[in-house]
Structure 1
Amino acid sequence: MKKGIHPEYMTCTVTCTCGHTFEILSNKPTLRIEVCDKCHPFYTGQERNLDTGGKVDKFKKKYGLK
């Protein structure tokens, strides 16, 4: 590996929207994510609706269509 061209790795604090935080190695000091293993439906077994309305319904409402 060539010296002087690779980014420096540091401890990165990752924060999820659910409030869960953990640390990883990254070239950025902080990261914010939307889902993690504590709140993702695959791992929790619970369904969570992020989108309350469908895309077609939003389109129809936006343009006043039936």
Structure 2
Amino acid sequence: MKSNIHPDYHEINIIMTDGTAFKTRSCMGKAGDTLRLDIDPKSHPAWTGQQRIMDTGGQIAKFNKKFAGIGIRKE
């Protein structure tokens, strides 16, 4: 195996949507960095069975504004 080709593997902190935190090992960032999750198994519809609209960055509002007139017939 070649030496010095693998990324640094270290501990990082994960903070879930409900505020719970745990440590795991990853190649992301530097040792001790924190990753805050927007979607996790406690809030994702695939695991909860409930639909929830999360508008991150105004994408839903932008879509609604762009396509507001489609489907409306003027007679």
Q: TM-score, normalised by structure 1?
A: 0.61
**Residues 10/50 of structure 1: CA separation in 2 closer, same or farther (3 Å cut):** same
Structure 2: tracts of 5 or more residues without a match: none
Query: How many residues are treated as equivalent by the alignment?
Result: 61
Task: Describe how 1:23-34 pairs up with structure 2 within 5 A.
Answer: 23-27=23-27, 28=29, 29-34=33-38
Larger-gyration structure (1/2): 2
**What's the C-alpha RMSD, in Å, of the aligned pairs?**
2.7
More strand by share: 1
Question: 1:5-34 CA distances to partner (integer Å, 9 max, x unpaired)?
Answer: 222211111223442333221123322221
Q: Identity across aligned pairs (percent)?
A: 36
1:50 deviates by 1.3
Over 6 Å off, 4+ runs: none
Give the Cα–Cα distance (whole angstroms) in 2 for the partners of residues 48 and 19 of structure 1. Answer: 19
Q: What residue in structure 1 maps to residue 42 of structure 2?
A: 38
